[in-house]
Structure 1
Amino acid sequence: MALTVGYVGASGVRLVRPVEDIDQVPGYLARFDTASNSYRFPIPAGNNRNLIQRINPNYGSLRSTEWGGHSIYHALQVNLVLNYSYDIPMPAAIRSNRFSNTVLGGWSIGGIYTRQSGGPYSVKIGVDRAFTGNSNAGGSLNSAARHMFVLNSTCTSPAAAVTGVIGKYLNLNCFAFPEAGQLGNLGRNNLTMPTFRNLDFSIFKNQNLMGEKLKAQLRVEMFNVMNNTNIQPQLQTIFDGNGAITSQAGTPTGQFGTFTTNQSRQIQLGLRLIF
């Protein structure tokens, strides 16, 4: 058995930070709203995005690379791996009888149980609701616009927004569509995936056929025997550009036809000859 419990922390300064669109509203035009714990940007007349006060309105998106990135991460991670193997003992009365020993003797069980803390992931909105001029607001994680997190008796922290229910693993009441000119206050990787759990189990039957010269082993191996669903890290859009909840909000999605990190329950049989 191996149990690892450890604090994981990292902090970085002056990191290389790619900016997918640097031609945005200058930061000095934004103000911090303490009531909503978010930044507010100027709203152009008639919500006309062509009137956003970008640094240079004569250009579209401008890519840039900066060396002023900062990162910080704190977490208490738990990783439990339990390996076990057990030869089932037989009473002397069974071992002394050839038939009963052949049927009931030589059985073993084994398995591996794994339990790990869930990793971080993010959600985004698909539009530049803050009118920052970010042309990639609905794009990758680096530039995606953020939601507002709603604090209440149920949603006490971003971690509380994860329900653990596979079909609807997010409490959508914890998120709000930002107001016009409002920059969402939910940061990157503030949510935590559910705990990873997996149990593999095996049964073996060892039988001598010709003494030590020839042996047979019957194997029954079951992977993910409890059929636990372990979700892949997600990056989802909860609200569309009009503030309506998307059809897949809170429902796991994935690549290559699967949204899990391990397979569903698998059972295989095998016969092994040892000589």
Structure 2
Amino acid sequence: DAFHNNLQSYAISGIAGFGLATNIPQFRFANNWQYADAVTVVRGKHSFKFGGDFLRQLARQHPPFNERGSLTYGSSTGATAFGNFIDDFGGSSGSLNRLFGNSVYYPNLFRQSYFFQDSWKVTTDLTLNLGLRYENYGTPANIFTIAAFTNYDPVNFATPHKVDPDNNNFAPTVGFAWSPSNGLFGEHKTVIRGGFQTTYDSQFNNLLSNIAGSTPNAIGGTITSSVTTAATRGTPNFSGLFPSIQPTPLTKATAQSNLFPKKLVNPYTDRWSLGVQRELPAGLILDVSYVGSISKKQYRTIDVNPVVNAATGDRLHPELQITAPTSAANIAIRQGEGIRTIRASSANGNYNGLQTEVRRNFSSTPLGNFLLSANYTYGHSLDEISDVFNQLSNASSFQSVSEVLGVSPRIDYADSDFDFRHSSVISWVWDLRGPKTGVLGQILGGWTLAGIERFESGFPYTVHNGTDRNKDGQAAPDRPDIGNLSAPLNTRAVISSTCATGYANPDAGNACVAASAVHFIEATGLPTGNTVRRNSVHGKGLDRLDLNIRKTFPITERFKLQYAVEMLNAMNTVNLTSVPNRTVNGSSAGTFLDVTQLNSVGRSMRMSLKLAW
């Protein structure tokens, strides 16, 4: 109904709020008109293929957009936040918020790609594949008035800015397959394969949604509750002021977030591989491959106007700020002025891996039909940032501003968030041989056992400092220093002005402790060679066995009754899927890097009975 569809979000300090969340509704509709065609021409030993793919997408999307608004009630002297809500006083920290702009946008695009390839049968044993692909993804971001970063111009900060198209996405492909017919690797029981390929990636939708829901393309409006001598509980009739919220006019100090640089390009990856597949006795097949890749121009977020003077709140371009640094409150406000963050395509990463597999296709044995696949991969993935939204490890403040302060963008080059160094999977299916008829057939026949055993290294994560060590206005990304590498991993110390050592142990009642007695110490100042690296701690690995036991009871020639038991994590091993508290100054006593505080997905079982005919 209309009332509930337009109900604002209410937040009341200390208790659960109510109303519709500020990030709904969301929807994404797309009508796709696509034409693709390919032509193959065979000439002698060459098989030529060429074609194209054209996509016209007409889209209508609603991003997270606080169009209905939100009301926040705070406490005040002599009154709780709930009491202020009941009496409609704003309290000392109350606010009314609403976002103005176009809550629905239309990121239409025209995507085109063309390809040409030649499969060349050089000899009966050797085949070469040569190809070239061109892709153009269009510029759907230009649906916005301000899609591109407006630079540091304090005058033309709200004029239209568009993103340039990326028109040079050429992607070559080279590959070969050689199966010798004689010699040591002969009789076509060996195949040696290798290749190189470049692939491009398109912009994903979330980046556009972020532009649609943030300044300068959307403008917020706020009314703040004020506590005065005459209004000790804050602004009265607070909710009645909601209709009077007006959008805050854009100024040079208004934040610009999530915009693209004018010359945003598509990320691309160069991949290469070399592998050998060999048929072995007993129906086994061995496959060994080396796989490598380098990814360039990946998306990252860059603060291009960072705080450079914490004492005054000055940013790199103070001409974009308005408030004078006359008090601590003004400095805090000043640090929020002139923010310029962009989504740049400038991050890099690489992967190198050894992949091995031994498999046996479903075949008959004296004990029944058996299928087996066992593989092991050693892989190492490194990058400067693993995700533009930093899901597991926040980018350091230096990493996010490196391109404007002269620090190498590779300062955070380390293990990727998804660097699972070792991974092994063993799977099998065994149809047990048994009687097919009679009483023994009902008891001993029709059994099938299947299982998947998976082993995997733990994923890496980053330990956080908890305080703004380099005074750039950002505390979340900063990392601590190493006290003593030989100390237990879950030991830490925070800065203390009352201890002669300068540090206290929050896990021992804030007792004074020397830096050399703990692994991590809270740090101040610029990072040094002793600062903790990104993703330097690895979690517990994975060990999981899934089993399936199935019994088929023949009833007639046509009807069968099937009974099955499935066990996930059959051995009930502890497998963690999250990271523990990892903030040196911020984790509660006794919880820092304590994996026993985490939940594990235990064993689960289910049974089924099915009649098949």
Q: Name the counterpart of 1:251.
A: 594
- The letter of the residue matching 2:341 is S
Give 1:207 deviation, angstroms: 1.2
> Taking structure 1 as reference, are residues 245 and 2 closer, same or farther at Cα in structure 2, changes over 3 Å only?
farther
- The letter of the residue matching 1:78 is H
Q: Determine if contact 1:9/1:73 at 8 Å carries over to the other structure.
A: no
Q: Determine if contact 1:122/1:236 at 8 Å carries over to the other structure.
A: no
TM-score, L = length of structure 2: 0.31
Q: Name the counterpart of 2:611.
A: 273
- The letter of the residue matching 1:251 is D
Q: Name the counterpart of 1:199.
A: 545
- The letter of the residue matching 1:64 is T
Q: Determine if contact 1:225/1:266 at 8 Å carries over to the other structure.
A: yes
Distance 2:454 2:579 in 1: 21
> Taking structure 1 as reference, are residues 173 and 7 closer, same or farther at Cα in structure 2, changes over 3 Å only?
farther
1:230 partner SS = coil
1:103 partner SS = helix
Equivalent of residue 448 in structure 2, options 82, 98, 108: 108
Distance 1:225 1:3 in 2: 29
Distance 1:97 1:14 in 2: 62
Distance 1:194 1:2 in 2: 30
Distance 1:192 1:6 in 2: 25
Q: Name the counterpart of 1:118.
A: 458
2:400 maps to 1:60: no
1:248 partner SS = coil
Distance 2:467 2:554 in 1: 69
Q: Name the counterpart of 1:18.
A: 302
1:222 partner SS = strand
> Taking structure 1 as reference, are residues 247 and 4 closer, same or farther at Cα in structure 2, changes over 3 Å only?
farther
Range with greater deviation from structure 2 (113-122 or 6-15): 6-15
Matches within 5 A, 1:1-275: 16-19=300-303, 22-25=306-309, 50=311, 58=325, 59-61=334-336, 62-65=339-342, 68=403, 69-70=409-410, 72-73=413-414, 77-90=421-434, 95=435, 98-128=438-468, 130=469, 132-137=470-475, 139=476, 144-153=477-486, 161=489, 173-178=518-523, 180-181=524-525, 183=527, 185-211=531-557, 213-234=558-579, 236-240=581-585, 246-252=589-595, 259-260=599-600, 263-275=601-613
Distance 1:115 1:11 in 2: 27
Q: Determine if contact 2:580/2:594 at 8 Å carries over to the other structure.
A: no
1:167-219 deviation line (CA, Å, top 9, x unaligned): xxxxx9422222x43637012222222222221011111111012x0011110
2:307 partner SS = coil
1:226 partner SS = coil
Q: Indicate the structure (1 or 2) with the bigger Cα radius of gyration.
A: 2
Give 1:82 deviation, angstroms: 1.4
Give 1:83 deviation, angstroms: 1.3
Distance 1:11 1:174 in 2: 34
> Taking structure 1 as reference, are residues 11 and 210 closer, same or farther at Cα in structure 2, changes over 3 Å only?
closer
Q: Determine if contact 2:464/2:480 at 8 Å carries over to the other structure.
A: yes
Q: Determine if contact 2:461/2:537 at 8 Å carries over to the other structure.
A: yes
Distance 1:6 1:193 in 2: 26
1:93-124 deviation line (CA, Å, top 9, x unaligned): xx388223312222221111122232221121
> Taking structure 1 as reference, are residues 248 and 235 closer, same or farther at Cα in structure 2, changes over 3 Å only?
closer
- The letter of the residue matching 2:571 is M
State the aligned residue count.
Answer: 218
Distance 1:6 1:188 in 2: 27
Give 1:246 deviation, angstroms: 4.0
- The letter of the residue matching 1:250 is L
1:203-246 deviation line (CA, Å, top 9, x unaligned): 111111012x00111101100112223223437443226xx864
Runs of 4+ displaced beyond 6 Å: 1-9, 51-54
Distance 1:89 1:245 in 2: 58
Range with greater deviation from structure 2 (231-240 or 1-10): 1-10
Distance 2:304 2:589 in 1: 25
1:100 partner SS = helix
Q: Determine if contact 2:580/2:592 at 8 Å carries over to the other structure.
A: no
> Taking structure 1 as reference, are residues 11 and 113 closer, same or farther at Cα in structure 2, changes over 3 Å only?
same
RMSD (CA atoms): 4.0
Higher RCO (Cα < 8 Å, 6 or more apart)? 1
Range with greater deviation from structure 2 (263-272 or 50-59): 50-59
Distance 1:151 1:2 in 2: 46
Q: Determine if contact 1:87/1:109 at 8 Å carries over to the other structure.
A: yes
Q: Determine if contact 1:4/1:80 at 8 Å carries over to the other structure.
A: no
Q: Determine if contact 1:150/1:174 at 8 Å carries over to the other structure.
A: yes
1:9-66 deviation line (CA, Å, top 9, x unaligned): 75757964422971134xxxxxxxxxxxxxxxxxxxxxxx747887668431444347
- The letter of the residue matching 1:124 is H
Distance 1:14 1:103 in 2: 59
- The letter of the residue matching 1:60 is Q
- The letter of the residue matching 1:271 is L
How many percent of aligned residue pairs carry the same amino acid? Answer: 20
Q: Name the counterpart of 1:31.
A: none
Distance 2:595 2:456 in 1: 19
Q: Which runs of 5+ in 2 are unaligned?
A: 1-284, 319-323, 326-333, 347-402, 404-408, 491-516
